[in-house]
Amino acid sequence: MRKQIDYSAEPILDVKGLKQYFKVSKNFTVKAVDNISFKIYPGETYGLVGESGSGKSTIGRSVIRLYDPTEGSITFRGKDISGKMNRKTTEELRTKMQMIFQDPMASLNPRKTIGDIIAEGLDIHHSYKTAAERKEKVQSILKKVGLAPEHAGRYPHQFSGGQRQRVGIARALIMNPELIIADECISALDVSIQAQVVNLMRDIQEETGTAYLFIAHDLSMVKYISDRIGVLHLGHLLETGTKEEIFDHPVHPYTKSLLSAIPSPNPELEKKRTALEYDYKTSGIDYNKGTDHLVSGTHYVKCTDEEFEAWTK
Amino acid sequence: MERKKILDINDLDITFKTTAGKVHAIRGINLELYKGETVAIVGESGSGKSVTMRAAMGILASNAKVNSGEINFTYSHDDGITETVNILSKNKKWIRSHINGKRIAMIFQDPMTSLDPTMSIGKQIMEGMIWHYKTPKEEAYKKAVRLLQEVGITDAEARMKSYPHQLSGGMRQRVVIAIALACNPDLLICDEPTTALDVTIQAKILELIKKIQEERGISVIYITHDLGVVAKVADYVNVMYAGRIVEKGRIDEIFYDPRHPYTWGLLSAMPDLETDDDRLYTIPGSPPNLLHEVQGDAFAPRNAFALQIDEKLEPPMFKITDTHSAATWLLDPRAPKCEMPSELKHRIERMKAAAKKLKEGESAS
């Protein structure tokens, strides 16, 4: 049964006109993310796709405030978190929004036990009264992600890649977040383990109702897990909509070329498939001139009026 | 046309000596490759696919010990005489000057780490020719420019002076391919050639390798875990698990009629665009630790279809057709009838229908 998302509800995350520039030198600024707006609703999975360098990881990091956004507003649970935050808002952001990173080995402290890594958030925010309560919380979360309670005393190197990613998920979950940012969290895993982790993430969403911002470049997996999808290219959000809208009726030529490049595990088809060509420089499209046009429902595409007319004919 | 065998690996068995003990990484592998054909080796990390190919290249780590087996490689000299050598019986120095880069070339996963950041790419392409064939510099230069054009780099002459950091990921991988082709190898080994690249570029690189293969008639081995890549390029597929080949066959046999439960798991764990099941089918658990000798079938603990005999005796390869065989007791005539999971069955039917539709569309037009 697919879950129902209430799109009339108050969005849990509302990003408006987000810009994230990195100043490299006096004369050169990298515009990693340029004027991006999207919303995430409670219990929803929003997938961000795009090639490397398109700014998808930057968005995740700006939203959780690992970077200071250059411009734009980010509203999380009705509070603005894009500028300077007071103590209460900071605490709320740091507990209710969590992140799962790509490389589970690099994101776990090798000198700490799994139990301590998972409980670190609890320690910082003093979310328990007795040591017994802390232990109880860690063990129940370990069980939830499919690890055994006795694993709490072990170190990251004693686990396999898939198990480590489960630890990363447990660490995010223990704060009862309402939004989890998953930045390429399955890319480093083997195919069979990827499926295990994706199933686990789905189960957790069903149980706790947390929303995901799922960042990935594997389009088949994004389609499988996401409710809505945003397509990024060169720091611009070109097209966004439900997965059916994006995959069945792509409008932007870049989206079309991206979808045509997805390898399919069907040799007869795959041997004959040729991907559509798309080159930004020669396409004549200027992303900076585009504005959001509504195609239907929740489906928006960024382009000029003339382009919109030509593409939707 | 007669198929000429170019690589023949027989009963290869390799252990690694580590501080934790002996790791039995390769446990009896048989593999053959014919001229002009493409073989893919599929498996999870740690299944031994890279080690097998490193053995064929003679670049195993120093703590590796080959217990048994032979790797027969057939190549032709410039004057057309063919020669077959057992690579495992040769010393490192001989392999280095006769095989590496000259007869067998390898393309690695990450182009940034396989290119020298301090050398211009032109120099890196010329290096092999000058070293192996004593090609004069001017001739090597001209050939390098031609190679760059062949792999689709525009403005090749100017690019000769570029350094790797000045190129994008896809361009770098093209340069790596140009280097691999510089000495006209008979065999090209691609170790996850597109994993580090974006999907849009991935397709272009695979098409490039395919085009070059057709033009030059070389044989290619792909090492990958991406079944989409396999579907695109391979003629034959070998599925590896825990140091053994568990299923081998023609590409259509593996994708449309898989017989080993591990292959079922691999195929269904990867969602395609039509997958709308509530849950993905998964293979439970994780691959075995090869530090400990495996009793019976290595896949049995993760196998929902495991029989009692799987815990005691390792299954032999059962022949299904002339080209297709799988190592699972399920194929024994005494085994109970067992069908693949229904999700996978539906998917294969869907894939077959799509393939049929495509064919009909082609014959109609």
- For chain A, the average pLDDT equals 89
What residues of chain A lie within 8 A of the CB of B289, using their CB? none
For residue A269, give how far its alpha carbon lies from the nearest alpha carbon of chain B (Å): 6
Is residue B80 scored above 80 in pLDDT? no
> Does B286 lie in the same domain as B215?
no
- Which residues in B lie closer than 8 A to residue A233 (C-beta atoms)? none
pLDDT at B271 over 80: no
Of B219, B234, B249, the residue that ends a domain is: B234
- Do B250 and B207 sit in the same domain of this protein? no
Tell me how far apart the alpha carbons of residues B180 and B78 are, in angstroms, rounded to a whole number: 18
Same domain, B296 and B358: yes
With beta carbons under 8 A apart, name residues in chain B contacting A187: none
Question: DSSP secondary-structure letter at B204?
Answer: H
Query: Number of C-alpha atoms within 13 angstroms, CB side, residue B355?
Result: 18
pLDDT digits (tens, 9 = 90+) for B12-48: 999 999 888 899 999 999 999 999 999 999 988 888 8
Q: How far is A57 from chain B (nearest CA, A)?
A: 15
Mean pLDDT of B2-14: 91
The pLDDT, as a whole number, for residue B31 is 92
**Number of structural domains in chain B:** 2
Q: Is the pLDDT of residue A135 over 90?
A: yes
**Does the beta-carbon distance from A263 to B251 stay under 8 Å?**
no
Q: Which residue of B has its CA nearest to A216?
A: B198
Residue A2 is predicted with a pLDDT of 57
- The residue-averaged pLDDT of A142-155 equals 90
Same-domain check for residues B168 and B290: no
- pLDDT tens, residue by residue, A35-64: 999 999 999 999 999 888 888 889 999 999
The CA distance from B246 to B263, in Å, is 8
pTM of the full predicted structure? 0.85
Query: Last residue of some domain: B234, B261, B294?
Result: B234
pLDDT at B284 over 90: no
Which of B234, B254, B275 is where one domain is finished?
B234
Tell me the pLDDT of chain B averaged across its residues: 89
What are the structural domains of chain A? 13-311 (3.40.50.300)
Query: What is the CATH number for B171?
Result: 3.40.50.300
**Distances A125 to A75, A121, B327 between C-alpha atoms, Å:** 22, 6, 54
| Pairing assessment for the beta strands A291-296 and A13-23 based on DSSP bridges | unpaired
Mean pLDDT, to the nearest integer, of B257-277? 84
B355 closest CB neighbour out of A192, A263, A268: A268
Indicate whether B15 and B91 sit together in one domain: yes
Residues B83 and B200 in one domain: yes
In this prediction, residues A154-182 reach a mean pLDDT of 91
B158 and B212 within one domain: yes
The closest of B239, B259, B173 to B209, measured between CA atoms, is: B173
CA distance A268 to B120: 41
pLDDT tens digits along B190-226? 998 887 777 878 888 888 899 999 998 899 999 988 8
Question: Within this chain, do residues B259 and B207 fall inside the same structural domain, yes or no?
Answer: no
Q: Which domain holds residue B49?
A: 5-234
Residue with tokens 């968005």: A59
- Residue B229 and residue B244 in one domain: no
Q: What is the dihedral of CA B220, B225, B226, B230, to 10 degrees?
A: 30
Residues B213 and B270 grouped into a single domain: no
The verdict on B287 and B148 lying in the same domain is: no
Q: Residue B163 pLDDT > 90, yes or no?
A: yes
pLDDT bucket at A1, cuts 50 / 70 / 90: very low
Residues of chain A found within 8 Å of residue B281, distances taken between Cβ atoms: 195
Q: Is A191 close to B270, i.e. CB distance below 8 A?
A: yes
Contact of B348 with chain A, judged by CB distance below 8 Å, is answered with: no
Look at residues B94, B298, B276, B270 and name the one whose alpha carbon lies nearest to residue A193.
B270
pLDDT at B304: 85
pLDDT band at A104 (very low <50, low <70, confident <90, very high): confident
Whether residues A191 and B251 touch (CB distance < 8 A) is answered with no
Residues B54, B202 share a domain: yes
pLDDT tens figures, B319-348: 999 999 999 999 988 888 888 888 888 888
